[in-house]
Amino acid sequence: MSTTVMASVRSALRSVLHWKPLLPLPRRGSRAAAALLPLIERVPAMAAPCRMHPAVYAIEAAVIDWARRTGLRADPEVGFHRMAGRAFAEFDAAAAALFAQWLTWLFHLDDELDEGPCPLEVFQGMLEGSAGHPLEAAFADLWRVTSARMSDQWRRRFAVNLQRQHYACRTEADNRAAGRAPTLADYPMLRRGTVGPYLYDLVEPCLRVEVPAWVHRSEPWQELVNSCSDITAWCNDVASRPKEHGDGHNLVVIAMRELGLGERDAVGWVLDRIAERCRDMSRAARRLPLDDLAPGTARDVSKVACAYLAAPRAHLDWLLESSRYA
C-alpha cells in the first residue's frame, strides 16, 4: 500500500482515538447513567463528545416510518436515531437510519424477552424465515434489505451470532428459573451473547463494505469487537440497574455480591473494568493489519473500525440523554 494512502487511513483511526476537551452534556437520562460521567475524564477514547449526524431528523423520520410499517414502537424520547446518528456521524444518513432501525428492533427484542410474552422460540423463527410474531416480521423486513448487500459468508456469520444470542438468553432464562446468577468469571462471555453479537456485524452492510474473513478472524479484530461489546454492555449495566430491580445478570450486582462491595464501590469497580477495556480497544485498533491490505480494502476496514471506536462515546451520550432508563 502506498505511504500516502496508509497515512490517510491511519489518520482516520487516530482522529477517533484522539483526546479532545469535554463539552457540557445535557442530562436527561437516569441518575444511574450519570455515574458513568467519570469515564469522560479518565478515558481518552471517551473524552470527546461525538459529532451528531447533520441529517439526524431525517434519520429519526426514517426510523419512525419503518417502525409504524412493521408494528413496532419508535419513541423519539428514547432516541435510538441519536445513538446511530453519533456512531455514524461521518457516513451517509442511510447507514445511520438502517443501524437505528436495527437498534429499535434489538431493544424491542430485549424488552420482550425480559418483560413481555415473547418466547425464546422467536429466535428459531427468525432463523427459519417465519413472520408469525411482530418481531419476526420486523426482522424479516430488515434482513431483506441488509443481507442483499452481503456475501453468503457474512450471512452465515450473522446467523451464528444470532444463535449465540439465543443460547445466551436461554442461559439467562434457565438461571432465573433456578435462582442462579452468573459469576464474575462467567459473566463477560454470557453478556457478549445477550447484548446481541450480530449488532457488530451490522456495521458492514450499513456502510456497504465487508471486512475480509481473515481480518475478521485475526486477534486484533476480535479484540476490537469484544472490547467494544464489553464497554457498551457494562455501561448499559450501570445505567439500567435500577430498572432491572436487582436482577443478577448485571455486572454491578455481581460485583456487590461476589466482592462484598456496597453499591457505590461496586459501580467504581465496574468503571475501572470499563476503563481497562477502553485501553484494550485502542491498542487493538492500532494493531489492525492494515498494511497487508489493498488500499481500497484498507479504507473499508478502517471505516468499520472507526464506527466501533465511536460507539462507546455515542452510547454514553445516549445513556445520558435517553428516557429509556429515566
- Sort residue 10 into left (φ over 0), alpha (ψ -120 to 50) or beta: alpha
For residue 96, what is the enclosing H or E element?
Answer: helix 93-115
Give a yes or no: residue 171 inside a domain.
yes
Query: Do the domain assignments include residue 3?
Result: no
Spacing of C-alpha 147 from chain mean position: 19
Contacts for 71 with CB less than 8 Å, ≥ 6 apart:
134, 137, 138
CATH number at residue 214: 1.10.600.10
Instruction: Please list the pLDDT of the chain residue by residue as tens digits (326 residues).
Output: 555 444 555 555 555 544 343 334 444 556 889 999 999 999 988 888 889 999 999 999 999 999 999 999 888 899 999 999 999 999 999 999 999 999 999 998 888 777 655 667 777 777 677 777 888 889 999 999 999 989 999 999 999 999 999 999 999 999 999 999 999 999 999 999 999 999 999 999 999 999 999 999 999 999 999 999 999 999 999 999 888 777 899 999 999 999 999 999 999 999 999 999 999 999 999 999 999 999 999 999 999 999 999 999 999 999 999 998 87
Residue 165: give the domain boundaries: 8-321
* 69 within some domain: yes
**How many domains would you assign to the chain?**
1
Q: Exposed e or buried b for every residue in 294-313, given b needs 16+ CB within 10 A?
A: eeebbbbbbbbbbbbbbbbb
pLDDT confidence of residue 113: 77
Q: What is the pLDDT of residue 128?
A: 72
Q: What is the pLDDT of residue 187?
A: 97
Distance (Å, whole) CA 209 – CA 197: 18
Q: Cβ(266)–Cβ(252) under 8 Å?
A: yes
pTM for the structure as a whole = 0.88
Work out the burial of residue 192: count CB atoms within 10 Å of its CB; fewer than 13 is exposed, 13-18 middle, 19 or more buried.
buried
Q: How far is CA 310 from CA 129, 212, 225, 229, in A?
A: 33, 21, 12, 12
Dihedral sign for Cα 41, 44, 45, 47, please. Answer: positive
pLDDT of res. 23:
38
Inside any domain, residue 1: no
Is-contact 137 152, C-beta < 8 A?
no
Question: How do residues 274-293 score in pLDDT, each as one tens digit?
Answer: 999 999 999 999 999 999 99
Q: Please spell the DSSP secondary structure of 161-186, one letter per residue.
A: HHHHHHHHHHHHHHHHHHT----TTT
201-204: long-range pairs with CB below 8 Å, 24+:
201/154, 201/157, 201/158, 201/161, 202/98, 202/99, 202/102, 202/146, 202/158, 203/99, 203/304, 203/307, 203/308, 204/150, 204/154, 204/304
| Residue 232 domain flag | yes
**Residue labelled with grid coordinates 464506527:** 307
DSSP secondary structure of 226-242 = HHHHHHHHHHHHHHHHH
